[in-house]
Amino acid sequence: MAFNHYAKLKRILDDEPVGWYIRRVDEPTTAQTFRGELRHFDHYYRLCHADGTHIKYGKFQQLDRLASAIHTDTTNLPVIDE
């Protein structure tokens, strides 16, 4: 089975206490697909604990894929623009 970063984020959030949120960071980033292709994004997201510190492994680029992994709609995610 292939590694799925969004499944890992779901497991992390399942153990995270109430109050976590997502911070949008408007800086360019690049991610490599399983086929070895590079995808470029003009922003990324970072999961944060309620106290504002970053959650380890919590950087990701696609909000809709996280919403799908945790079985919710993107409008229900606590996103804060930086």
pLDDT digits (tens, 9 = 90+) for 36-76: 899 999 999 999 999 999 999 999 999 999 999 999 999 99
Q: How many domains does the chain have?
A: 1
Placement of tokens 């959650």 in the chain:
55
pLDDT digits (tens, 9 = 90+) for 11-24: 999 999 999 999 99
Q: Does the structure show a pLDDT above 80 at 79?
A: yes
Torsion angle defined by CA atoms of residues 52, 77, 70 and 60, in that order, rounded to the nearest 10 degrees: -60
| Residue 1 pLDDT class (50, 70, 90 cuts) | very low
Q: Could you tell me the residue range of the domain that residue 43 belongs to? A: 5-81
Helix, strand or coil, per DSSP, at residue 44: strand
Bridge partners of residue 47, in order along the sequence: 22
